[in-house]
Structure formats: C-alpha cells, structure tokens
Amino acid sequence: MQFRSKSKKRMQPQDISFWDVSDDSVKVPSELQQSLAWIQDEWVKCSDVKYQSFHVQEVPVCLVFINGLIDQDAAQRALMEPLTRYEQGPVTLPALKDSLNALMTEETSQISAIHQAIAEGKVVVLMDGQSGALLVDVNKFPGRGIETSQNEPTIQGPQEAFIESLPTNLALIRKRLRTSKLKVETMQIGAKTNLQLALLYVEGIVKPGLIEEAHQRLQRIQTDGILSSNEIREMMDDAPFSPFRLTEVTERPDRTVAGLLEGRICFLNDGTPTSIVVPVVFVGGLSSAEDYYGHFMTALPLRILRHAMYWSALLLPSLYIALLSYNQDLVPTPLLISLEAQHEGIPFPTIIEALGMQTTFEALREAGLRLPRAVGQSVSIVGALIIGDAAVNASIVSPGMVIVVAAAGVASYTIPSQDLVNTNRILQYPFMIVASLLGLYGIVAFGLVLVIHMVSLRSFGVPYMAPLAPFSWPEMRDTFIRAPWWAMNQRPQFYEPVNLTRNRTSKPSPPSGDST
C-alpha cells in the first residue's frame, strides 16, 4: 500500500474551545472522530496537513501529518507496512508501538503534544477506542547538503561548513569531539516557530557559572519566532548599543570545537547555518583558522599584518584629512607639494571629498553583495575603477583621495571577522568628521574614547580586550603571534576554565645519537 493521504470531512468538536486545544490538561479522547475534530479545528485552513484513514483488523486508524515534512519512503517502510500487516493480537496503542519499525516512537495522551508533533514533521497515529496517540518520527525537512565554507575559506584544514539542519550540525561537532563530556542541552525557542536551540559545552573544562549565565539569558528571550542567529545574539548581548559585537558567529565546525576546548560555550539554532560562540575577545576576531593549519612561523607575519590592516582601514581616511587640512607641517615638503597640486582645482573641501568617495565605495561593495555572485565581484571592481577614474578626470576628487579610500577598503578585506569589518565601516565616518574639525588632536581624542569603551566591554563577564587589558603575558602566545602547539600548554585563563591544562606535549628535540 502506498503512503497516500485522504482528507476526512471535518467535524465540530464537542465542549472544547480554541484556547483549550493547546492546554496540557486536555487529554486525547478515546473516540477517533472527536480526536480528529479537535485536531482539524486547530489546523483549520492548513491544506498541507493530511489525514489518511484505514483499518487495522477492522479497527479504524488515522494518520495525521504535514505533507512535505516527512520521509515518504521511511513512512512506508517503518509505519504503513507494519500497520497494514498487523496480526499479532489485540489492536492497542502499546501493541502497535512494539510492532513498528521506526526508531523514534513515543506515546502521548495530550492534545498539545499532538499539535507540537505535527508541527515538527512527525506522524500522529490515532486509533478508535484508544485514549492517546503514537508519535512516529519519520520527518525529513528539506535542506541542502554539507558544502565548503563560503565566508571563512581556508586552503588547508577541513572544508566542511554548517548547514540549516540542527541534527547535522550536531553530528559535525560530534565527529570532531568524540567524548561523553560534550554536553548538549536543547530547548524550544519562539512561541510560533518552536525551533530547537542547542547549548553545547564540554563538562570539566567550561566554568559552571558561564553555563548558568547562558541559561538565564536564554530564559529571558520571549519572542514569537527566531529566524536567524543574529536575533539570539542581539537578545543576549552585554552592550546592545556598542558597535562591537560581543558574540562570535562562525560557520566552521572546527572553529566551534576549538572554542569549546578553550572553555567557551556555543549555541546552535535549527534553521541557521552558523554557531554562536561566547565569550569573545577582540584579538579573536583578527585570528583566522588558517593560522592553526599552517606553520606557526608563517602565522606570525600574517597576524601582525592583520592587526596593522585593521587600524589602517579604520584610520587611513581620517589621517589623510587631518594631514591635508590641519597638520601640513607633519608632511614632508615634497610630498605636501605633490598632494596640494593634486587637490588644486577640486571644488570641494577634503572632508566632503572623503565622505563622497567613502560612501561611493560602500555603495559599490553593497551592490556587489546583492548582485549574483558571478557578476557581483566584477561589478564592484570595475565600477570602482571606472567611477574613480572618471571622478579624477572630472576634477571632482583628487588621485590621492582615491588611493587612500581604496587602500582602506583593501585593508578591510584582510580582517577575518565580518563583525569587525562592519564595525570599521561604521567608525570610519566619525573619525573623518573629528579629523576635519580638530585634526590629529580630534583623532587622538576620539581614539582614546574608543579605547576606553573597548576596555569597558564584557562578553559574558570576560573582558573584551583580554589579554591586553588586563594584561597577561602568558596569554600573549596566541594574540599578535601564534606560538607552536607544544608551547601552548594551557587554555586561555581569561575564560576561567576549570581544567587549565590542555597540552602536555614536550618540546620536540632531535635524537640524541645518530640513527643506524
């Protein structure tokens, strides 16, 4: 028999209101028609909810499910075939449960559990004369397969990335962290979406207070639905009005596992191809997964380059404005003459020139993201070249300003964390404005305000600027440099892990004598 659906005529429920249907105290009646009436009343105008009726030894049975959320082959093999061939004695729900081939089958007596099971893609088995129902998990949500990471690519190391399926994402983490100490706590979030949210941590490493803090913040989330991890991040943030994000998001399972082994916790949300890792520190946003898959001596110059490029992307336009507008005495005379000659004939002051070019560059970058990937990069690059060249030829902007804005844009592309890139894009404008008003003094003053703000930030109780502020010399082995693995024998202390030691490997040494 094929697993097909047949719609039944909807009956009016007896002595039950719309709101009582979701009450946990409402039990499933023994009359099949009444149970179906209650279910149909809750799922009215839901044409994708199907009802398939048949008989098991002349006892009426009905299956309720959402078309498109179940695996038809699994339902036919594990559910329909055992039911239609049942000849093992009295027809009861416990007896049918024992005869099914499905691995995940549970029995319930509550109407609210039935509604939740239908929404989760399970098949509900109702039987006439039996109070209760069977919930058979044969769901198969539509989704894509595991692919290469698009936003965090690496040349070496694993290429797998998270997808929109929570069970698959959990399997990717279990694949790398094969221990019973990896704990997974799940909860449903969103009154209407009822999506699964998983909290992961390694018992014996993570600080217990961090887990308790995560529980409290999750309990404060009261919303109709969660559609992305960003909603969870904003609802758990320590400083919601700060331009710096105090949670880390990644689509790489290996990076998530590395965070768990450091004593951090992560959140996985069903329907989102990323994980949220907390706490987070500033220097972590400037480290790439590539640093740990290559030789540590190769990672040293790359780390220093990223730190330099971060501040270059932030300060280059404002420094150019300050040097041309207020602090010309700090510029070598030949260079100053060349810059002033370029600016001759430009009808706008330097600040207007810089704001216009920076906004144009941001518009081209945004357009490149919105266009199809095949043409997006070409449009942004060609558009920048054409517009920049045309603006210089039309004497609207100077060549030096085009070079500075382009250099700042290229520097921002070296930053691994997209959150820090977006933060820089926001902070560039106030830096340029204070540079046009006060010159280098304005840049220094606003920079001090920014540093004070960064030092005051906390991510789940961990200082955002650790290990720089408060300074810890042992933790500097994985900040501006990446020490060899045998030298990083302790976990970061600012995460306050229960077990500080993570590596007992001694320094490699050549053999004492010649090999024979």
- Using CA atoms, how far apart are residues 183 and 193, in angstroms rounded to an integer? 24
The rounded distance, in Å, linking the Cα atoms of 92 and 130 is 7
Give pLDDT tens digits along the chain (516 positions). Answer: 444 444 444 444 434 333 334 445 678 888 889 989 989 888 988 888 999 998 888 889 999 999 888 888 888 888 888 888 887 778 888 888 888 866 688 888 888 889 888 988 889 999 988 888 999 988 887 778 888 888 888 888 888 899 988 889 999 999 999 989 999 999 988 888 888 899 999 999 999 999 999 999 999 998 888 888 899 999 999 999 999 999 999 999 999 999 999 999 999 998 899 999 999 999 999 998 888 988 889 888 999 999 999 999 999 999 999 998 888 888 888 888 888 888 787 888 889 989 988 998 888 888 777 777 666 666 666 666 777 778 888 888 888 888 898 899 889 989 999 999 999 999 999 999 999 999 999 999 999 999 999 999 999 999 999 999 899 888 888 888 888 988 888 999 999 999 999 888 888 888 776 554
Number of Cα atoms under 13 Å in the Cβ half of residue 138? 27
pLDDT value at residue 22: 44
List alpha helices for 164-221, DSSP H: 166-176, 208-219
Q: Which pLDDT score is estimated for 1?
A: 40
Quote the Cα angle for 388-389-394, to 5°: 100
The end-to-end CA distance of the chain, in Å, is 73
Q: How far, in Å, CA of 303 to CA of 291, rounded?
A: 8
* The pLDDT value given to residue 14: 39
What residues pair up with 199 in beta bridges, in sequence order?
Answer: 185, 267
Residues pairing with 134 in the sheet: 107, 125
